[in-house]
């Protein structure tokens, strides 16, 4: 049984919100959680002409249903955590963002972020980061989201993937290729990512060949001693041991030509960027949504 009493009228531009009074005896059901989210959105969204209001409600409903569906798939039908004020506030922000844009890719990101946020109601750094990611992701273009993803996975090994020669094709074809179309990336994008807290510029950088060769040093022989200390701000041009005329970058571009422009963008714009926790969360969720391969973002926020 669930009795909901909620009285709230939002005027134009109002940010007031009221979750309402919940009396649950058997736990909040997915359907009821979705209904509450939709009502909360409609009661607090600015007044607008009828045509826009209809579209906004349709999108808010779509966002609510997709979020609850993702949550239930991982956590079961008990949606009690959606009674938490901070969870619902973040849910409301996600609905607003999707109602304004209607972008399906954004919906996929927002629904995953909120579903993850609802899994735990503790006041933790991870949950604070998820809250911030909901606000930030709607301010990014698909190109910028893919850029963050590409940067992150250049130097990240995925647990559970066999680290052998087959891994190279997995890494190229399933991990990097989907995020490698960075031809339209410009300095303005980089400046913008810095300005909204998605990245920080560093005067130090490591050569891309170093990243690539170190990642596969156990299965590919390179003309370099990996015991030496690699210097920052230096081009190494690491080459194959059995083909000294081919650098690490060239070797992987030959295997996957789509990477040529991405590697060029990396050397030109991206190698000095350090991602923030918020952008790493966005990158890993984007990666999972596109590839279906899970990554453990939460591990970034757990102490050893």
Q: How many domains, in total, are found in the chain?
A: 2
- Count other Cβ atoms within 10 Å, centred on residue 29: 17
Which of 120, 137, 154 finishes a domain? 137
Specify whether 165 is located in the same domain as 132. Answer: no
Residue range of the domain that includes 15: 2-137
The reported pTM is 0.79
Tens-place pLDDT, residues 225-279: 888 788 888 888 899 999 999 999 999 888 888 888 888 888 888 989 999 999 9
Specify whether 181 is located in the same domain as 275. Answer: yes
Specify whether 122 is located in the same domain as 189. Answer: no
Supply the mean pLDDT for the chain: 82
Greatest mean pLDDT range, 101-110, 117-126, 174-183, 282-291: 101-110
Specify whether 269 is located in the same domain as 289. Answer: yes
| DSSP classification of residue 302 | S
pLDDT(294) > 70: yes
Range list of H helices, the chain = 30-44, 50-75, 85-101, 104-117, 125-137, 142-154, 165-170, 187-195, 208-215, 248-255, 259-265, 277-291
CB-based contact 12:60 (threshold 8 Å): no
Specify whether 150 is located in the same domain as 170. Answer: yes
């Amino acid at each position: 049984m669930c009795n909901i009493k909620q009285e709230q009228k939002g005027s134009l531009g109002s940010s007031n919100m009221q979750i309402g009074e919940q009396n649950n005896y058997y736990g909040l059901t997915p359907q009821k959680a979705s209904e509450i989210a939709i009502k909360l959105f409609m009661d607090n969204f600015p007044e607008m002409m009828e045509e826009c209001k209809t579209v906004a409600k349709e999108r808010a409903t779509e966002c609510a249903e997709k979020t609850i569906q993702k949550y239930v798939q991982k956590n079961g039908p008990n949606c009690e955590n959606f009674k938490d004020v901070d969870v619902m506030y973040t849910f409301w922000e996600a609905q607003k963002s999707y109602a304004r844009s209607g972008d399906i890719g954004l919906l996929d990101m927002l629904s995953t972020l909120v579903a993850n946020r609802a899994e735990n109601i503790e006041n933790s750094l991870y949950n604070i980061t998820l809250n911030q990611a909901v606000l930030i992701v709607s301010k990014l273009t698909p190109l910028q989201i893919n850029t963050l993803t590409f940067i992150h996975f250049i130097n990240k090994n995925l647990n559970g993937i066999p680290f052998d020669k087959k891994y190279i094709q997995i890494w190229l074809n399933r991990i990097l290729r989907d995020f490698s179309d960075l031809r339209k990336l410009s300095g303005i994008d980089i400046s913008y990512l810095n300005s909204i807290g998605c990245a920080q510029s560093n005067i130090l950088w490591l050569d891309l060949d170093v990243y690539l060769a170190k990642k596969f040093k156990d299965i590919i022989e390179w003309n370099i001693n990996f015991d030496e200390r690699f210097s920052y701000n230096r081009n190494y041009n690491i080459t194959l041991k059995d083909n000294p005329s081919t650098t690490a970058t060239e070797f992987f571009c030959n295997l996957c030509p789509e990477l040529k422009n991405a590697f060029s963008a990396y050397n030109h714009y991206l190698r000095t960027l350090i991602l923030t926790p918020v952008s790493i969360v966005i990158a890993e969720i984007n990666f999972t949504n596109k590839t279906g391969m899970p990554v453990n973002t939460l591990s970034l926020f757990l102490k050893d």
